A and B are shown apart, each in its own frame.
With several copies, the nearest count.
Chain A
């Protein structure tokens, strides 16, 4: 049996989840109020995955994210001000306003980008892991992707190559049971995406994605394995998104039942973890409340920063297309 995470780790896991939840709740509201342009894919309900995995990574380690990428960047240490500014399309954003929600990124934090292309991340993470091995660093690269993305050819090619070269690469499938509005059973015959691991001769692990400790432990094992040079793991986390595919209420489509949603909401990764924390005596309700109020202050500050920030200048349009030597 693995040793119980320390109190510090438990508190950090909690903080990360709360940070994601609060960031996303406000982002969703702002989108539905049309203050944030474009489309947001919110991570609410899935916080345990990014939090549990990222707890094992340093800023040096890389991740590739998805269209549903805010949670990953928050968990990687993303600054709310720069994130909201990016969602607002302001020049102070992480991408100077050029990327927006679907491309928010920060190389200093090892976040190689949210990605608007389903399946876009795995080949890039595999490539980063290749560099890590080539350059003899001890870094690992983690590719997050959805159940839907596991049907893209890019996933297949990336996992095969990572396995072949024994790269320090972890493939984390966030299986929320749907690709957009299509349930898993209508896009693949298997129940566990992890079953695909066998086709590449790597371990496939299924874990409860609503249980942050379970994710943390499983990710630690996979990451340790990768760092030791033993190659990739396909780690599948079963989860659910509490909001719609896009935004909070989305387009009002009826592809999921209320019962199903309610059933999963009862397993809210944050609420259940908080109950556990209190039971274990790691945190009191008061301390928990304080976490929220601190985080909500950061949210408010971040939104304010974004709204106060300037839009990019027209001259910025043609910047950053190429790297100009000496510039």
Chain B
């Protein structure tokens, strides 16, 4: 959220989950050909309450409970968007994308290209990512890089209530398939959210903390861990700039590279497994475009190479946090 935008907010505070609801509601009000479809999005209001009240307001024609059929659900999104609707599709957990990856990778992402531009798919997909709730290996993943690697779809990962609402509206107005990956641990997070509609541009990162001596590039909830780390580090005299990437496809290379050129040090933090995660892509871009500005290798923090463990003590070690970020920054700078 830019400073200018912040001024308009006038202190209206919502939780992340309520911001999601509000974003979806604005879309439904604005676009008569939009609807929400997914498992238990209707009467139940979504497993996280993220659609609560919408069924009562918009009725069962527009808030559609589906069978437990992810291939069908995403197919519904693809087919209906090709035929004139602007569907909002809920894939309950990003872990369940495995069930509908074909509909995503081979149909949704490629149809326009294969048709030589002959079809437009204005479909928005919402799904929950992230670990930290003792939901174990099949309900805690962060698989965003699968989607970012896929020409034809866009992928945003809002970290704040403001961005959650705005991203949903922007995604729904976009004429392309857009994934809005929401973080389930952030559902209770509070933040300023304006009434009415506003957009959060897809493909631009945001500098959420200005700094001069180290750049932390963070994805989704890790933004908050990075900000916390920055506070701790500032006491040690390290002036950290924190960038919320917000969108991983398209990716805002410029904002990141410009920051690195200023600070000469970088660290990329995400919750997904480090190996093969989006962090590698970001580091590769940084070293390519800011090679001569780097005083040290660009670091990466992601989850270790294992599935997400159930036991809270293990999960706590598993998910990156502020302490780990602080340690890594200190290590890079040779601080003790």
Chain A in direct contact with chain B (Cβ < 8 angstroms) = yes
Q: Which residues of A contact B (CB under 8 A)?
A: 37-39, 62, 64, 89-91, 93-100, 102-103, 105-107, 112-113, 115-120, 122-132, 134-135, 139, 141, 148-149, 151-154, 157-158, 160-161, 164, 179-182, 186-188, 251, 253, 255, 311-312, 314, 316-323, 325
Cross-chain contact A157 with B72 (CB below 8 angstroms): yes
Residues on B facing A (Cβ under 8 Å): 33, 35, 39-40, 42-45, 47, 49, 61, 65-72, 74-85, 95-96, 98-99, 102-103, 106-107, 111-120, 133-139, 151-152, 154, 174-176, 304-307, 309-314, 317-318
Residues of B within 8 A of A125 (CB): 79
Interchain nearest-CB distance for A63 vs B (Å): 11
Most A Cβ at <10 Å: residue of B67, B117, B175 = B67
Question: With A and B bound together, what is the CA distance between A97 and B114 in angstroms?
Answer: 9
A–B pairs, 5, beta carbons within 8 Å = A103-B136, A120-B107, A127-B82, A161-B66, A322-B154
Chain B positions within 8 Å of A122 at CB level: 75
Which residues of chain A come closer than 8 Å to B139, judged between CB atoms? 102, 116
Do the beta carbons of B39 and A180 come within 8 Å of each other? yes
B311 touches A130 (CB 8 A): no
Residues of A within 8 A of B133 (CB): 38
- When distances are taken between beta carbons in the complex, the residues of chain A under 8 Å from B99 are 117, 119, 152-154
Name the contact of A135 in the complex, choosing from B65, B70, B75, B85 (C-beta under 8 A).
B85
The answer on a CB contact under 8 Å between B75 and A154 is yes
Q: Which of B35, B71, B113, B305 has a CB less than 8 Å from the CB of A157?
A: B71
A106 to B194, CA, bound (A): 42
Q: How many whole Å from B15's CB to the nearest CB in chain A?
A: 16
B40 close to A181 (CB less than 8 A): yes
Q: Are A131 and B47 in contact (CB under 8 A)?
A: no
Q: Is the CB of A89 within 8 A of B40?
A: no
User: A106 to chain B: closest CB distance in Å?
Assistant: 7
Shortest beta-carbon distance from B317 to chain A in Å? 5
Q: How far is the CA of A320 from the CA of B311 in the complex (A)?
A: 14
Choice from B44, B112, B138 contacting A253 with Cβ under 8 Å: B44
List of B residues within 8 angstroms of A314 by Cβ: 313-314, 317
A322 to B118, CA, bound (A): 11
A115, A154, A188, A251 interface centre (most CB from chain B within 10 Å): A154
Min CB distance B315 to A, Å, is 8
Complex alpha-carbon distance, A255 and B310, angstroms: 30
A320: contacting residue among B113, B134, B317, CB under 8 A: B113
Evaluate contact between B304 and A318: CB separation under 8 angstroms: yes
- For A251, the chain B residues whose CB sits under 8 A away are 49
Option from A38, A95, A160 in Cβ contact (under 8 Å) with B134:
A38
- Give the chain B neighbours of A161 by CB distance below 8 A: 66-67, 69, 72, 76
Q: Is the CB of A117 within 8 A of B107?
A: yes
State the CA gap A89–B117 with chains docked (Å).
15
Contact B310 A97, beta carbon cutoff 8 Å: yes
Q: How far is the CB of B166 from chain A (nearest CB, A)?
A: 17
The answer to whether B138 touches A116 (Cβ under 8 A) is: yes
Q: When the two chains form their complex, are residues B152 and A322 in contact, meaning their CB atoms are under 8 A apart? A: yes
Closest Cβ–Cβ distance, residue B85 to chain A (whole Å): 5
Pairwise interchain contact A127-B75, C-beta atoms closer than 8 A:
yes
Q: Which residues of A contact B175 (CB under 8 A)?
A: 323, 325
The distance in angstroms between the C-alpha atoms of A113 and B113, with both chains bound, is 12
Query: Judging by beta carbons under 8 Å apart, are A100 and B134 in contact?
Result: yes
Q: For residue A320, which residue of chain B has the nearest CB?
A: B117
B78 and A255 within 8 A (CB)? no
- Tell me if A96 and B102 are in contact (CB < 8 A): no
Closest chain A residue, CB of each to CB of B137: A103
Known: A97-B309, A117-B102, A135-B33. A141 touches B79 (CB 8 A): yes
Assess the A126–B114 pair: CB atoms within 8 A: no
How many angstroms from the CA of A317 to the CA of B42 in the assembled complex?
38
Asked if A255 contacts B43 (CB within 8 A), the reply is: yes
Q: Which 3 A-B pairs have the closest CB atoms?
A: A127-B79, A123-B75, A100-B310
- Pick the contact of B115 from A99, A160, A312, A325 — CB < 8 Å? A99
Determine the distance from Cα of A116 to Cα of B304 in the docked complex, in whole angstroms: 22
A319 to B106 CA separation, bound complex (whole angstroms) = 18
**Residue among B49, B72, B133, B305 with max Cβ neighbours from chain A (10 Å):** B72
Chain B residues near A148 (CB-CB < 8 A): 67-68
Using Cβ atoms and an 8 Å threshold, which residues of chain A touch B306?
A: 317-318, 321
Contact of B136 with A102 in the complex, beta carbons under 8 Å: yes
Contact in complex: A127, B76 (CB < 8 Å): yes
Are the CB atoms of B310 and A112 closer together than 8 Å?
Answer: no
- Which residue of chain A lies nearest to B152 when distances are taken between CB atoms in the complex? A321
A152–B151 Cα distance when bound, in Å, is: 25
Q: What A residues does B81 contact at CB under 8 A? A: 127, 131
Contact B67 A317, beta carbon cutoff 8 Å: no
A186 contact set on B, CB distance < 8 A:
65
Q: Is the CB of B114 within 8 A of A120?
A: no
Minimum CB–CB distance from B113 to chain A (whole Å) comes to 5
User: Chain B contacts of A39 at CB under 8 A?
Assistant: 135
Q: How far is the CA of A92 from the CA of B288 in the complex (A)?
A: 39
Q: Which of A64, A113, A131 gathers most chain B CB within 10 Å?
A: A131
What residue in chain A is nearest B110 (Cβ atoms)?
Answer: A103
A164 to B43, CA, bound (A): 17
A314 vs B139: C-alpha distance in the bound complex, in angstroms? Answer: 21
Query: CB distance B82 to A124 under 8 Å?
Result: yes
Which chain B positions have C-beta within 8 A of A64?
A: 79
A106 touches B44 (CB 8 A): no
